[in-house]
Amino acid sequence: MEAFLAQNPQAIWRRLRHSRYARESVPAIPFFGDIAAVRRIYLPNLAPFVSPHHGILRLVPGSPRRFPFMKRFLFALLLVAGVAATRGAAATPARPNIIFILSDDLAQGDLGSYGQKLIQTPRLDRMAREGTRYTQAYCGTSVCAPSRTSLMTGLHSGHAPVRGNWEVPVEGQLPLPEKTVTVAQILKLAGYATMVAGKWGMGMFDTTGSPLKKGFDHQIGYNCQRHAHSYFPTFLYRDGVRFDLPGNTGKGVGPVYAQNVIQTDVLQWVRAQKEKPFFLYYAITLPHGAHEIDDLGIYANKPWTDQQKAYAAQVTRIDRDVGQLLDLLAELKLDEKTIVMLAGDNGSSFSPTSEMGKLFDQASNGLKGFKRGLYEGALRQAAFTRWPGVVPAGRVTDEPWAFWDFLPTAAELAGAQLPAGFKTDGRSLVSFLRGGPAPARDYFYWELHETKPIQAVRFGSWKAVRNGITQPIELYDLTTDAGESKNLAAEKPDLVARAEALMTAAHTPDPNWPLTGRASARDADRAKNTKNAKKK
């Protein structure tokens, strides 16, 4: 093989040089091995014809493409790729740009690719077709702050420092502790430029949970989740510094739509990234309530309520804005250097019998439950990944993964070192993203501290839910009953015992998050916030 590597490229190059040239390039070849080895051994001879990006080999326009030559050429490339892969695949990381778009409360059933008919999402549907769509992608847990904490920290909600929405006076949420490491810190250390846009919700700027202390170079948008309930707020933050949105009152529609300000900043920042790979965490606040928008667009004359029109317009605005971002990647020729993942942060926020649920029939997309619960409708996300040439296009998979897998996935893609002693509950999805099977694991675990603490665990196709520590464990077989309608607990006591043991093992006790009720400090903060709200 060494002889082949040393000599055959020369022979191929000679033949290519004397063949006819075509204007179009041929499709890219995903490359799974050591790109540095290919560059070193192969490209010096074939540089005019091969454009190497991170993990991709593509013939450049003008390459010869007559079939007999091309067939041999591609064959030789694949051989080299295979040889290089066996020479130490992990030696040089691909280091793509990484974009994670997290929509607040977007549900599977909101999108055309999951069956929505009334709300238009052509660009997101195309994104799903151009990549892989997941039917069993699980959020961290089914409300904002703990779900995002799981995404950022690689920890499930039995280990994470934030396991519920805890508002801290006068603005912001319970901060991530100083010692908690985020994916942004890991990527920043690995040389990535980092940005967070939209809503943060894991600590104000003067706390240990500030995004600027958690690995982000640049920030635009809201910090506090409550502040983000207004789409026409009086101010936003850029790099932790407050700036006004003139004319807005924070009460209903005003002149400046916050998402427009945020989107403009995101596009500018991406355009400016030339030196380093980048990580963009785009936590879009739409379509969470309040359902406010600056333009109802194609829904203005629909025979729907104002809230229904605004909600549909919010979802379609996500579609437009994500489309603009994807268009920018294409313009900057970053398509094949950039992995884009998109997900909702929890299931639909609506009951199927609500004003939205009834019209759009999207609330749980055939599943049971919605936001603030732990049934599948609360946990399964609208989610897809696009990375042309690497992530298979048109793949739809029902293999499960969860938000806490993102950190180890991003770290592997970036070739980043994890800090000594760092522990994650996640598994790297890199092989799964590229078309392989999802990583094996013993179980997925969730807890949620809203009105009363609740827990759920999935092991294999079994799903167990406990709606309170004093409540009985319910057991469902997801292979035959994804809608969790038939509780099999009485028939399967051994599996119930196993579920209980997993729930116990997965929950690390934390004084902030007792399974028996609410922490008194949290109640005290809530009382202060209520008092402040009355004063206003």
Among 141-149, 200-208, 222-230, 277-285, the segment contacting Ca ion (CB under 5 A): 141-149
Identity of the residue, 73 or 114, whose beta carbon is nearer to Ca ion in the bound complex: 114
Q: How far is the CB of 271 from Ca ion (least distance, A)?
A: 29
Q: How far is the CB of 369 from Ca ion (least distance, A)?
A: 15
In the list 28, 98, 104, 138, the residue contacting Ca ion (rule: CB under 5 A) is 104
Q: How far is the CB of 349 from Ca ion (least distance, A)?
A: 7
Q: How far is the CB of 233 from Ca ion (least distance, A)?
A: 18
Nearest to 195 by CA among 288, 263, 146: 263
Identity of the residue, 45 or 141, whose beta carbon is nearer to Ca ion in the bound complex: 141
DSSP 261-282: HHHHHHHHHHHH--SS-EEEEE
Nearest to 429 by CA among 440, 418, 415: 440
**HSE-up of 40 (CA within 13 Å, CB side)?**
8
In the list 345, 405, 447, 484, the residue contacting Ca ion (rule: CB under 5 A) is 345
Please tell me whether residue 335 binds Ca ion under the rule CB under 5 A: no
In the list 94, 137, 144, 312, the residue contacting Ca ion (rule: CB under 5 A) is 144
Instruction: Burial-class residue 103 by CB neighbours within 10 Å (0-12, 13-18, 19+).
Output: buried
Q: How far is the CB of 105 from Ca ion (least distance, A)?
A: 4
Nearest to 26 by CA among 71, 58, 57: 58
Identity of the residue, 345 or 484, whose beta carbon is nearer to Ca ion in the bound complex: 345
Please tell me whether residue 105 binds Ca ion under the rule CB under 5 A: yes
Question: Residue type for 49, please?
Answer: F
Question: Residue type for 264, please?
Answer: T
Identity of the residue, 338 or 348, whose beta carbon is nearer to Ca ion in the bound complex: 348
Among 99-107, 423-431, 438-446, 515-523, the segment contacting Ca ion (CB under 5 A): 99-107
Among 54-62, 140-148, 351-359, 381-389, the segment contacting Ca ion (CB under 5 A): 140-148
Identity of the residue, 157 or 346, whose beta carbon is nearer to Ca ion in the bound complex: 346
Among 98-106, 324-332, 355-363, 430-438, the segment contacting Ca ion (CB under 5 A): 98-106
Among 138-146, 175-183, 322-330, 509-517, the segment contacting Ca ion (CB under 5 A): 138-146
Q: How far is the CB of 510 from Ca ion (least distance, A)?
A: 22
State the pairing for strand pair 235-238/29-30.
unpaired
Examine residue 290 and say whether the peptide bond preceding it is cis (omega within 30 degrees of 0): yes
Contact 307, 95 (CB under 8 A): no
Q: How many CB atoms lie within 10 A of CB 524?
A: 11
Identity of the residue, 73 or 370, whose beta carbon is nearer to Ca ion in the bound complex: 370
Q: How far is the CB of 221 from Ca ion (least distance, A)?
A: 15
**DSSP one-letter code for 104:** B
Mention every residue, 6+ apart, whose C-beta is less than 8 A from residue 3.
Answer: none
Q: How far is the CB of 175 from Ca ion (least distance, A)?
A: 19
Query: 241 vs 145, 221, 302, 382, CA distance in Å?
Result: 22, 10, 40, 33
Spatial separation of the C-alpha atoms in residues 401 and 396, rounded to whole Å: 13
Nearest to 199 by CA among 245, 230, 168: 230
Q: How far is the CB of 144 from Ca ion (least distance, A)?
A: 4
Residue with smallest beta-carbon separation from Ca ion = 144
Instruction: Burial-class residue 276 by CB neighbours within 10 Å (0-12, 13-18, 19+).
Output: middle
SS3 assignment, position 381: strand
Identity of the residue, 144 or 457, whose beta carbon is nearer to Ca ion in the bound complex: 144
Helix, strand, coil percentages (3-state) for the chain, rounded to 5, are 35, 20, 45
Q: What is the largest CA-CA distance in the chain?
A: 82
Among 29-37, 179-187, 277-285, 338-346, the segment contacting Ca ion (CB under 5 A): 338-346
Residues 217-256 as x/- pattern, contact with Ca ion by CB under 5 A: ----------------------------------------
Among 87-95, 137-145, 422-430, 496-504, the segment contacting Ca ion (CB under 5 A): 137-145
Count of residues that bind Ca ion according to CB under 5 A: 5
Identity of the residue, 120 or 346, whose beta carbon is nearer to Ca ion in the bound complex: 346
Identity of the residue, 123 or 148, whose beta carbon is nearer to Ca ion in the bound complex: 148
Identity of the residue, 141 or 248, whose beta carbon is nearer to Ca ion in the bound complex: 141
Contact 74, 315 (CB under 8 A): no
DSSP 479-504: TT-TT--S--TTT-HHHHHHHHHHHH
In the list 230, 346, 348, 385, the residue contacting Ca ion (rule: CB under 5 A) is 346
Q: How far is the CB of 197 from Ca ion (least distance, A)?
A: 16
Task: Find the radius of gyration of the CA atoms of the chain.
Answer: 25
Please tell me whether residue 110 binds Ca ion under the rule CB under 5 A: no
Q: Which residues pair with 98 in a beta bridge?
A: 279, 339
Binding site for Ca ion (CB under 5 A): 104-105, 144, 345-346
